[in-house]
Amino acid sequence: MTTEYVLKIYVQNQRQNNIKEFASPGVPNESKKEFTCPVKNPCGILSLIGKNLDLKPFQKKIIMEYDMFYWLNRPRKFEFMANFIKIRTEPETDFWQRTHYGFSKTNAPAFLTKTNGNLTFSVRTLFNTQKQYDQCGVLLYVDEENWLKISVEHENETFARLGSVVTNLGYSDWATADISFPVTEMSYRLSIKNQDVKIEYAEKDNVFRQMRILHMHKLLQDAGIGIYACSPLDSSFEAGFTDISIIPE
């Protein structure tokens, strides 16, 4: 049995740089195209649309309806608004597998959509972390033992840790860089090419800088990609996500 999804493609002239304005309901009708496609995989049509539409003079961005996403570990408190998602974290939630600390956890809430083919995912995160390890960011999830997360983790009142955790075959690899605290927002861009992933971040200046290039061992076909937030210790905070986009390659 298949399910119908509506994909809305907004086309913006490259001279316009305000993504919020571009993705708002004020976009003229003639610059919108809507597709209703019977597909088993909600993202399965992304590459088809990206290849078949002649939009070379324009920047194209796919803004997906929330029903194309699914919850992994649905949180108790969350809110959907126009171009904004808010999650309240719960204590003792995390994504980690074995390395160094010896424990395994995959109980943090994540809001994901299925991938199919090469793509670029981007999002801006807003947060006010409270205790050590509080974090929110991007999650690429195959299964409990194969996934990738990107975030800023709260460390103390002096610095935070901008980093990525790559988990292959049941063991997590954490790479970090210390950044000044307080920090309350960060943007991320994750580009998938076959089994390889490029991670970039941007601060308030919106200039993306490379964080890491990595390889995932387990096939990424039908992996979930999206946002997550968690509080590994006895803590809770609100994480906000905006300007979510997926661009097929």
**Residues sharing a CB contact under 8 Å with residue 205, sequence separation 6 or more, in sequence order:** none
- For residue 29 the two structure tokens come to 């009708």
Residue 58 · residue 23 · CB < 8 Å: no
Question: How far is Cα 231 from Cα 91, in angstroms, rounded to an integer?
Answer: 5
Pick from 227, 161, 222, 215: nearest CA to 188: 227
CATH number for the 70-248 domain, one of 1.20.120.80, 2.60.120.200, 3.90.226.10, 2.40.110.10? 2.60.120.200
In order along its 249 residues, the chain shows pLDDT tens digits of 333 333 343 333 333 333 232 232 333 333 333 333 333 333 333 333 333 333 333 333 444 567 789 999 999 999 998 889 999 999 999 999 999 999 999 999 999 999 989 999 999 999 999 999 999 999 999 999 999 999 999 999 999 999 999 999 999 999 999 999 999 999 999 999 999 999 999 999 999 999 999 999 999 999 999 999 999 999 999 999 999 999 998
Run of H or E residues at 46:
helix 46-52
Task: Write down the domain spans for the chain.
Answer: 1-68, 70-248
| DSSP per-residue codes, 76-121 | SSEEEETTEEEEE--BT--EEESTTT--EEE-S-EEEEE--SSEEE
